[in-house]
Amino acid sequence: MSIDAPAKVNLVLRVLGKRADGFHSIETLMAPVTLADRLEIELCKGGGLEFTCSDATLPLDGTNLVCRAVEAFRERTGFSGGVRVHLEKRIPHGAGLGGGSSDAAAVLRGLNGLVGAGLEVADLEELAAGLGSDVPFFVRGVAAWCRGRGEIVEPLGEELPGGELLLVKPPFPVPTAWAYGAWARGGFPATSGARLGSIELMNDLEGPVFSKYLVLPVLKAWLLAQEGVAAAMMSGSGSTMIAFLNDGAVGLEERVGEEFGATFGMFRCRLGAVGGV
């Protein structure tokens, strides 16, 4: 089975406080985009897991969410057959785009179909919640409000406005745990003001992340000043910046490269479901 694992962007991210279990309570509106990893999942004789990846920097052992998803599926269903997975990595990691979480959800969906385990969406979301806070969102692969620590998923139920996005990934990651910890220590105001249809774009983590990674507020302000950019914001805990484009955004990638250098990755995509169940 070939299955796409989409990236996500956070259109709204409110941090509501720290929970007793150490996680933070959040309310976030996430949407899948057409930038996606590709997984090839195959059942094979014997047992065990053979996992390969096009990105040599990623671990191939039990710390990878793909491997953890296979083991979680086995524990839940009793499936003991061999599994071969190849991951063609297109989503940058450490980017606030949920690539690893999406890969894990794709493995759960794919194995459920290949094995014929018959797990329902709610079962898959419950299984996904044990792997990570963002993983349940990717089970359905549609725009949704996610609450709690992210595991309570409520599909948006309406179409998001169309249009292209440019994702700009600086050459460094932002550790998620650090970003939330900095928010808890700082009392930073939310950044808002722009809208996407009826949605007010907002990310509570921009303040703390921008206070340390000083190129990010510069990048955001620069993007907002460019012709064809309707709005800009950081996705998740960063470091990716989202530019919401209109028809005038011709040559924007070249201008980003000229201004910030060739180490900044750029990905044109659209909001929209890829995969899901």
Q: What digits encode the pLDDT tens for the residues 201-244?
A: 999 999 999 999 999 999 999 999 999 999 999 999 999 999 99
Question: For residue range 173-210, what is the model confidence (pLDDT) as tens digits?
Answer: 999 889 988 988 877 776 766 888 889 999 999 999 99
22 band by pLDDT with thresholds 50, 70 and 90: low
| 37 part of the active site | no
Task: Kindly give, in sequence order, each residue whose CB lies less than 8 Å from that of residue 105, ignoring residues fewer than 6 positions away.
Answer: 5, 69, 124, 128, 135, 136, 137, 138, 139, 141
- Please name each of the domains of the chain with its CATH number: 2-155 (3.30.230.10), 164-270 (3.30.70.890)
What pLDDT shows up at residue 151?
A: 85
In degrees and rounded to multiples of 5, residue 115 shows phi and psi of -80, -25
Strands (E) in the chain, as ranges, are 2-18, 24-44, 49-53, 82-88, 144-148, 152-155, 164-169, 195-196, 199-200, 202-203, 229-234, 241-245, 265-270
What pLDDT shows up at residue 94?
A: 82
Q: How crowded is residue 70: how many other Cβ atoms within 10 Å of its Cβ?
A: 24
What pLDDT shows up at residue 197?
A: 85
Please pick, among 4, 8, 89, 204, the residue that the annotation labels catalytic. Answer: 8
265 forms beta bridges with 169
| 220 part of the active site | no
Question: For residue range 74-126, what is the model confidence (pLDDT) as tens digits?
Answer: 999 999 999 999 999 999 988 889 999 999 999 999 999 999 999 999 999 99
Q: Are 202 and 179 in contact (CB under 8 A)?
A: no
Burial string for 133-145 (b: 16+ CB within 10 Å, else e) reads: bbbbbbbbbbbbb
Sign for the pseudo-dihedral over CA of 135, 139, 141, 147: negative
Q: Return d(Cα 25, Cα 214) in angstroms, integer.
A: 26
What pLDDT shows up at residue 185?
A: 86
Q: Return d(Cα 102, Cα 105) in angstroms, integer.
A: 5
The token duo for 29 is: 């509106």
Please pick, among 37, 103, 134, 204, the residue that the annotation labels catalytic. Answer: 134
What pLDDT shows up at residue 218?
A: 97
Q: Are 50 and 84 in contact (CB under 8 A)?
A: yes
Q: Can you tell me which residue has the tokens 């800009």?
A: 232
Q: Return d(Cα 264, Cα 109) in angstroms, integer.
A: 32
Would you say residue 275 has pLDDT above 70? no
What pLDDT shows up at residue 193?
A: 66
Q: Are 232 and 224 in contact (CB under 8 A)?
A: yes
